[in-house]
């Protein structure tokens, strides 16, 4: 799942390049995993994404109401519509993917963009030619909840 991480160094933005470089350099030491399984979006999706929780119930820095980590997607991958009780904030670090929430149409969010997803708002993203690396922040009373699909 980390095969595409080196490539994110070439598609970061001026405000995110230094952080992306640090993440790429430290990638092997970070606790990457997956929060979906093949029954959710299929085996092809599983091979094309990874996430890493740095702060939260699973992360090396324990927290019970806030979770924060990284999300990595391979190029040409669709993260289908999903929703969850947790309020979410994404900061795009690298890659120009298309993002959508609620009734919005897909729109490109460049590196540096901040996207807010209120509780239970359906949201999705699709990657084009570039991989996508984003920081995510979840706020909820139940940080172990699994997203609902659709
Ligand atoms: Fe989400």
Both structure tokens of 2: 């980390």
pTM for the full predicted model: 0.95
Closest CA to 94 of 4, 3, 1: 4
Architecture label for domain 5-108+132-140:
Sandwich (2.60)
| Ligand 1 midpoint to CA 82 (Å) | 7
| Ligand 1 midpoint to CA 22 (Å) | 24
| Ligand 1 midpoint to CA 25 (Å) | 26
pLDDT by residue (tens digit) across 60-90?
A: 999 999 999 999 999 999 999 999 999 999 9
Going from N- to C-terminal start, the domains of the chain cover: 5-108+132-140
Neighbours of ion ligand 1 (CB under 5 A): 88
Closest CA to 63 of 79, 32, 34, 86: 86
DSSP type of residue 28? G
- CB atoms under 10 Å from CB of 98, counted, come to 16
Mean pLDDT of 25-52: 92
Please report which confidence band the pLDDT of residue 1 belongs to, taking 50, 70 and 90 as the band edges. Answer: confident
Q: What is the pLDDT of residue 141?
A: 87
Q: What is the pLDDT of residue 43?
A: 92
Please report which confidence band the pLDDT of residue 143 belongs to, taking 50, 70 and 90 as the band edges. Answer: very high
Separation of alpha carbons 46 and 38, rounded Å: 6
């Amino acid at each position: 799942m980390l095969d595409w991480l080196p490539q994110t160094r070439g598609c970061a933005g001026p405000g995110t390049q230094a952080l992306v470089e640090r993440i790429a350099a430290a990638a092997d030491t970070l606790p990457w995993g997956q929060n979906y399984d093949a029954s959710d979006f299929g085996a092809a999706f599983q091979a094309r994404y990874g996430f890493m929780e740095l702060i939260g119930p699973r992360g090396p820095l324990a927290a019970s109401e806030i979770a924060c980590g990284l999300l990595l997607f391979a190029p040409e991958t669709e993260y289908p519509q999903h929703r969850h009780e947790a309020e979410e904030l994404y900061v795009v670090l690298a890659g120009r993917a298309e993002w959508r929430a609620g009734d919005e149409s897909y729109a490109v969010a460049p590196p540096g963009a901040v996207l807010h997803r209120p509780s239970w708002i359906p949201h999705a993203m699709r990657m084009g030619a570039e991989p996508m690396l984003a920081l995510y922040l979840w706020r909820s009373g139940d940080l172990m909840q699994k997203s609902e699909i659709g």
